[in-house]
Structure 1
Amino acid sequence: TVCSKSFSRSSNLLQHQRVHATKKSYDCVECGKSFSRNSALSQHREVHRGERMFQCTDCGDHFTRSSSLTLHQKTH
């Protein structure tokens, strides 16, 4: 096995296996993490910039991605 992740559905496992099979030629110069798409690298760079533009209206926490805020809001 390449990693220790497990999945309840074989379709999810197959989808995840593509992560390991895809060539990752876009590297973050700050942390060395690699990405298969330039757009994913660009999105990742926001983590290092510390830009947290998305704010939770319930508790005031800030997030770098709208998707992270959406997941967080489900906890309220």
Structure 2
Amino acid sequence: CGDCGKSFSWSSHWERHQRIHTGERPYQCGDCGKRFGRTSHLYRHQRTHAGGQPHVCADCGKSFNSTLHFHKHQRAHAGPRHACPDCGKAFADGSALAKHRRVHTGEKPFPCPQCGRRFGVSSHLHRHLRSH
């Protein structure tokens, strides 16, 4: 940056940074008109108009900041749609079933880069890595 000397790996980050110096605030709140230099700041602000949580589940009242998490939660109310062919346990989404299937197949796709021991769940690998 010619103004402050800060360097950036990505031109988009440099362009966003320039708004600090120019004062440009291209993102405007549709509710109150307040302007922001970053979309993330606008989204955070918009939660104030929605009582802090913009997505509320009509089935159970649970609220979410993230649209992705809200939609994933709503699928859970639709009931389990993915059943394990080995044991019959049912899951709301296919990725949870895929993880569960490793119990039956013995698949361990997460190897330790230091000792080679393999794990079926990534969090178990991360816990193991602390032992090295």
TM-score, normalization by structure 1 = 0.53
Which residues of structure 2 form unaligned runs of 5+? 1-43, 45-51, 105-132
Q: How well do the aligned residues superpose, as a CA RMSD in angstroms?
A: 2.1
- Larger Cα-atom Rg: 2
Q: Structure 1 pair 69/24, CA: closer, same or farther in 2 (3 Å)?
A: same
Q: Which of structure 1's runs of 4+ aligned residues deviate more than 6 A?
A: none
- What is the aligned partner in structure 1 of residue 119 from structure 2? none
Is 1:59 the counterpart of 2:94? The answer is no
Which residues of structure 1 form unaligned runs of 5+? 1-21
Is 1:38 the counterpart of 2:67? The answer is yes
Q: What is the aligned-residue identity percentage?
A: 33
Report which structure shows greater RCO (CA 8 Å, sep ≥6): 1
Deviations 1:8-59 (A, max 9, x none): xxxxxxxxxxxxxx75321112222221222321221121121x22121211
In 1, Cα distance between equivalents of 2:59 and 2:94: 22
Is 1:48 the counterpart of 2:77? The answer is yes
Given residue 61 of structure 1, which amino acid in structure 2 is its aligned partner?
K
> Aligned residue pairs: how many?
54
